[in-house]
């Protein structure tokens, strides 16, 4: 695999410790690796659930303000924020590669420099995205959206400008701390933040009746309070990796930008995939039932995916750390442990949803037709749980090894040249409706997973160890 230019900036290769690793028993290595992995995966999973919880709390309180406000908030979240979140989170994942490898190589002083370079790159990207938030109303009106909803969405999107800049700090600091296995602080801050958000949302929207302004004020606080906590932790509790602000941050920005763009493209192709399939379902017969059923399945799938994304973070950090440390053997072992652990959890969900079938749909709807449609999709939903347990881990391996540009091409081919066309053919021409679209989506993910397994297995990991 091609060595990214950003990796070449590190100074020297550490001593390889594989001889010591070979003397340890398999059981001891498994225990040690699982313990190290869960230190990263546990807080990552919790923080993702908490971030999703902030959205749900805001949505719940806004839903009691008015139907127009609720619809406008839904549009902003599902279109603008999903789009922006995918870009910025993907670009920030470049830090998982370079910070993880730098930490493994004991080049601790470079982590703070990389963090600041990423702030610059992501801030410039966010500024380029601002027109979407500034001109939300005319954009929605041009697309034929209801005028009242479009105007309210424009008001909400203006508030969200503060949130997207919070993403810049949040995502980069999380990657910085994850690379050092110090991300437990992220989970603590997320728990405090969601509790404050729940109280402030009630206080500002129910108690003092500030309406949408109150709800959005609480939302902004919920995103920025953890950022302040993370920044304080980095500056005062990471003396080895944070040496203060430096003009070095403005040098050699292109390697960081290049890797960030590859990372952003890799993740965005995945995030937008499900959105396109929902749009396809909206053009089918009995579209309301089809869209509702597929949306429920995607919501359930999304919750389980939060766990898998925690293992994605863990595998990327572990692979990057071990490659930076010079141990290809330990990197391969961490991949095996992460895949097996995540797959075991996936099997639990697989059997659970095979058993529950349409029963779970009644958590989201009272419509028996929608519940029946969800039950019809339950087998595919269960299979997606298995794929979810493997595919994100392999994506994390790609991030840790710096293969983002390669995986972006794999995602493009698997999702858009295979998955969507197959979904269209099965759903429309074979009249399987939402089930056909779901089958196409799963087939695309299956192809992507198989390709990533082949790449991972056929990689010469000795050559992936970076010469610093």
**Span 275-305, pLDDT tens digits:** 666 656 655 666 566 666 766 777 777 777 7
Q: 157-163: long-range contacts (C-beta < 8 A, 24 or more apart)?
A: 157/76, 157/80, 157/132, 157/133, 158/133, 158/134, 159/216, 159/219, 159/220, 160/76, 160/80, 160/81, 160/133, 160/216, 161/130, 161/133, 161/134, 162/220, 162/223, 162/224, 163/81, 163/219, 163/220, 163/223
Report yes or no on 33 lying in a domain.
no
Q: Would you state the pLDDT for residue 292?
A: 67
**199 and 334 housed in the same domain:** no
Question: Is 442:384 a contact under the CB 8 Å cutoff?
Answer: yes
**55 and 108 housed in the same domain:** yes
**82 and 228 housed in the same domain:** yes
**353 and 389 housed in the same domain:** yes
Domain boundary among 192, 220, 251: 251
Question: Is 166:225 a contact under the CB 8 Å cutoff?
Answer: no
Report yes or no on 156 lying in a domain.
yes
**297 and 151 housed in the same domain:** no
**306 and 421 housed in the same domain:** yes
Distance CA 163, CA 54 (A): 12
Question: Is 397:322 a contact under the CB 8 Å cutoff?
Answer: no
**196 and 287 housed in the same domain:** no
**78 and 187 housed in the same domain:** yes
Q: Would you state the pLDDT for residue 9?
A: 46
Token representation of residue 342: 């995540």
By the 10 Å C-beta count (0-12 exposed, 13-18 middle, 19+ buried), 163 is classed as: buried
Distance CA 310, CA 38 (A): 9
Domain count of the fold of the chain:
2
CA 173 to chain centre: 15
Report yes or no on 462 lying in a domain.
yes
- Helices marked H in 326-367: 328-356
Question: Is 249:114 a contact under the CB 8 Å cutoff?
Answer: no
Domain boundary among 251, 284, 300: 251
What's the N-to-C CA distance of the chain in angstroms? 16
List, for the chain, all residue ranges whose pLDDT scores fall below the cut of 70: 1-24, 271, 274-292, 294-295, 363-365, 466-468
pTM, to two decimals: 0.82
Domain boundary among 198, 221, 251: 251
Distance CA 149, CA 129 (A): 22
Report yes or no on 38 lying in a domain.
no
Q: Would you state the pLDDT for residue 233?
A: 96
Q: Would you state the pLDDT for residue 20?
A: 53
Distance CA 313, CA 103 (A): 15
**319 and 231 housed in the same domain:** no
Angle at CA of residue 323, ends 318 and 324, nearest 5°? 100
State percent of the chain over pLDDT 70.
88
Dihedrals φ, ψ of 407, to 5°? Answer: -65, -30
Q: Which residues, at least 6 apart from 308, have a Cβ–Cβ distance to it below 8 Å? A: 342, 346, 388, 389, 391, 392, 393
Report yes or no on 337 lying in a domain.
yes
Distance CA 306, CA 47 (A): 9
Question: Is 434:290 a contact under the CB 8 Å cutoff?
Answer: yes
**239 and 288 housed in the same domain:** no
**Which residue range(s) make up the domain with 239?**
43-251
**244 and 361 housed in the same domain:** no
Give, in order, the Cα–Cα distances in Å from 401 to each of 65, 244, 333, 398, 448: 47, 28, 14, 5, 17
Distance CA 12, CA 468 (A): 4
């Amino acid at each position: 695999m091609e060595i990214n230019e950003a990796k070449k900036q590190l100074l020297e290769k550490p001593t390889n410790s594989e001889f010591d690793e070979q003397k340890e028993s398999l059981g001891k290595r498994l225990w040690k690796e699982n313990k190290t992995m869960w230190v990263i995966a546990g807080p990552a999973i919790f923080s993702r659930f908490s971030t999703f919880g902030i959205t749900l709390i805001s949505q719940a309180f806004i839903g009691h303000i008015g139907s127009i406000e609720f619809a406008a908030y839904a549009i902003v979240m599902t279109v603008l924020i999903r789009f922006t979140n995918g870009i910025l989170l993907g670009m920030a994942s470049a830090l998982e590669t370079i910070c993880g490898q730098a930490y493994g190589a004991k080049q601790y002083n470079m982590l703070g420099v990389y963090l600041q370079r990423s702030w610059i790159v992501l801030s410039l990207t966010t500024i380029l995205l601002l027109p979407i938030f500034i001109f939300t109303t005319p954009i929605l009106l041009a697309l034929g959206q209801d005028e009242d909803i479009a105007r309210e969405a424009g008001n909400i999107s203006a508030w969200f400008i503060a949130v997207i800049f919070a993403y810049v700090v949040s995502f980069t600091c999380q990657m910085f701390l994850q690379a050092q296995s110090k991300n437990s602080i992220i989970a603590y801050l997320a728990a405090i933040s969601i509790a404050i958000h729940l109280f402030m949302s009630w206080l500002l929207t129910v108690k003092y009746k500030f309406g949408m302004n109150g709800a959005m004020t609480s939302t902004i606080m919920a995103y920025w309070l953890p950022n302040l906590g993370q920044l304080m932790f980095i500056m005062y509790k990471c003396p080895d990796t944070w040496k203060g602000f430096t003009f070095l941050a403005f040098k050699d920005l292109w390697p960081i930008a290049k890797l960030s763009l590859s990372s952003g493209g890799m993740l965005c192709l995945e995030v937008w995939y499900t959105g396109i399939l929902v749009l396809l379902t909206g053009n089918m017969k009995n579209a309301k039932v089809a869209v509702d059923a597929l949306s429920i399945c995607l919501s359930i799938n999304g919750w389980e995916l939060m766990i898998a994304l925690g293992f994605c973070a863990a595998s990327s950090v572990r692979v990057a750390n071990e490659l930076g440390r010079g141990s290809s053997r330990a990197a391969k072992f961490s991949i095996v442990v992460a895949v097996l652990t995540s797959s075991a959890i996936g099997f639990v969900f697989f059997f659970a949803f095979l058993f529950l079938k349409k029963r779970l749909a009644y958590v989201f709807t009272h419509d028996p037709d929608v519940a029946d449609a969800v039950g019809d999709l339950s087998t595919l939903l269960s299979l997606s749980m298995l794929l979810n347990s493997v595919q994100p881990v392999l994506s994390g391996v790609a991030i840790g090894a710096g293969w983002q540009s390669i995986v972006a091409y794999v995602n493009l081919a698997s999702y858009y040249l295979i998955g969507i066309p197959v979904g269209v053919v099965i759903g429309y021409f074979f009249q399987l409706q939402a089930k056909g679209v779901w089958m196409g989506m799963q087939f695309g993910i299956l192809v992507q997973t198989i390709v990533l397994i082949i790449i991972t297995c056929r990689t010469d990991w000795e050559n992936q160890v970076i010469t610093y």
